[in-house]
């Protein structure tokens, strides 16, 4: 990793911590600045790296930009959950395309697929029941989203990179916590429990470009 990438990664980490503080303190103005700034920082890190596959990096940059859009939609006062969901869905598709730029390792892919399905089996049923009762129109979009997310996690595993798989799983669990907190019942300190694994997961996905 180049010195420039290290400096950018450290700076992004500082901004991420500022965002976490903003979430804990409910300082919306700081959060509105820091949350998208984290993704901008990760894009800069990705561009500063010397990746194994330039094509993979290009797709990852697109994914990160879509992730930033999703973040903005989800933190706005107006309910834009569906817009955030769609942006995140396309983000996962971009990550899948990026992972496909590498050679696929079938055994790690299969293991990651099983882990993803097991995670879905734990989190999805209560979320599904809650959505069916309170927001039935969201059931189909959420199921499609989860299906694509499972493919993304499996694709991360298929690269053979534990860094990529760890990032994808943290991202998955972060989104599961977000949905649980929003639709099932409040999770203690739910917003910070959501945002920390999300940022760490995205950072690991970026770092997987050089693993």
pLDDT in tens, 146-188: 999 999 999 999 999 999 999 999 999 999 999 999 999 999 9
Q: Is residue 65 part of a domain?
A: yes
Q: Is residue 26 part of a domain?
A: no
pLDDT mean across residues, the chain: 96
- The answer to whether residue 141 scores a pLDDT higher than 80 is yes
Are 116 and 173 spatial neighbours (Cβ–Cβ below 8 Å)?
Answer: no
Q: Please give the tally of structural domains in the chain.
A: 1
Q: Is residue 97 part of a domain?
A: yes
Q: Is residue 157 part of a domain?
A: yes
- The answer to whether residue 77 scores a pLDDT higher than 80 is no
Q: Is residue 37 part of a domain?
A: no
Q: Is residue 68 part of a domain?
A: yes
Domain span at residue 112?
53-210
pLDDT digit string (tens) for 78-125?
Answer: 789 999 999 999 999 999 999 999 999 999 999 999 999 999 999 999
If you ran DSSP here, which 8-state letter would residue 181 be given? I
Q: Is residue 111 part of a domain?
A: yes
Are 53 and 101 spatial neighbours (Cβ–Cβ below 8 Å)?
Answer: yes
| pLDDT at residue number 1 | 82
What pTM value is reported for the model?
0.95
| pLDDT at residue number 208 | 97
Q: Is residue 43 part of a domain?
A: no
Are 194 and 178 spatial neighbours (Cβ–Cβ below 8 Å)?
Answer: yes
């Amino acid at each position: 990793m180049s010195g420039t990438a290290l400096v950018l990664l450290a700076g992004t980490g500082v901004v991420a911590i500022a965002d976490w503080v903003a979430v804990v303190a409910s300082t919306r103005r700081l959060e509105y600045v820091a949350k998208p700034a984290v993704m901008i920082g990760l894009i800069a890190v990705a561009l500063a790296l010397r990746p194994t596959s330039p094509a993979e990096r290009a797709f990852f940059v697109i994914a990160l930009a879509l992730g930033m859009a999703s973040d903005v939609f989800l933190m706005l006062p107006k309910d834009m959950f569906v817009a955030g969901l769609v942006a995140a869905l396309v983000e996962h598709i971009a990550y899948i395309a990026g992972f496909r730029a590498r050679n696929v390792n079938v055994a790690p892919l299969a293991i990651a697929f099983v882990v993803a399905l097991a995670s879905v089996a734990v989190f999805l049923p209560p979320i599904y029941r809650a959505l069916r009762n309170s927001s039935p129109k969201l059931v189909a979009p959420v199921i499609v989203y989860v299906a694509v997310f499972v493919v993304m996690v499996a694709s991360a595993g298929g690269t053979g990179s534990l860094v990529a798989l760890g990032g994808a799983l943290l991202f998955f669990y972060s989104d599961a916590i977000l949905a649980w907190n929003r639709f099932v019942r409040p999770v203690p300190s739910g917003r910070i429990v959501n945002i920390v694994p999300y940022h760490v997961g995205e950072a690991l996905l970026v770092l997987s470009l050089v693993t």
